[in-house]
Amino acid sequence: MKDYAKTAEELFKNGCNCSQAVLLAFSDVTGLDDETALKLASSFGGGMGRMREVCGAVSGALMVLGIAKGYSDLSDAEAKKEHYALVQEFARCFKEENGSIICRELLAGVKTEEGTVPEKRTDEYYKKRPCGELCFTAAKITEELLK
């Protein structure tokens, strides 16, 4: 069986942003090819384009849950309600483990540069931030909710 959490963490460490890492880890679930998954999730890294809003790992996980368990019948209020309950359960679990779903709060105490330029991926970069672990956690919770 695939270890989604470890895969997501490794994808982050290999250069994916946090959202890409989680979405791409579940390619067998979503049916998305790598290029499509990487492009789809590219906007959500750094808490939505480095704005430090909703954590990209959370966004990636919610994309997986949407593809796997989302609704498409716009008149099906019950399906919408059930899906939103799933989203809220994911957020509750993620907050329980990490304290927040907001990137800037998750990176509290980590010196980051503002702006659009991504930081270089160095050993120091990986040592100072919890993003790989957050990708691991997001993927672990997602896998549990898909069962």
Residue ranges per structural domain of the chain: 4-146
- Angle, CA 65 vertex, CA 60 and CA 82 arms, to 5°: 140
Rounded CA-CA distance 74/16 in Å is 33
User: For the chain, how many residues are written?
Assistant: 147
DSSP 136: H
Query: What pTM was estimated for this model as a whole?
Result: 0.94
Tokens of 45: 């890294």
SS3 assignment, position 49: coil
End-to-end, the C-alpha distance of the chain in Å comes to 13
For 25, 100, 124, the CA distances from 61, given in Å and listed in that order, are 10, 15, 26
Any idea which residue has 């049916």 for tokens? 31
> 61-118, pLDDT tens digit by residue?
999 999 999 999 999 999 999 999 999 999 999 999 999 999 999 999 887 778 888 8
Instruction: Categorize the per-residue pLDDT at 1 as very low, low, confident or very high, splitting at 50, 70 and 90.
Output: low
SS3 assignment, position 144: helix
> 10-52, pLDDT tens digit by residue?
999 999 999 999 999 999 999 999 999 999 999 999 999 999 9
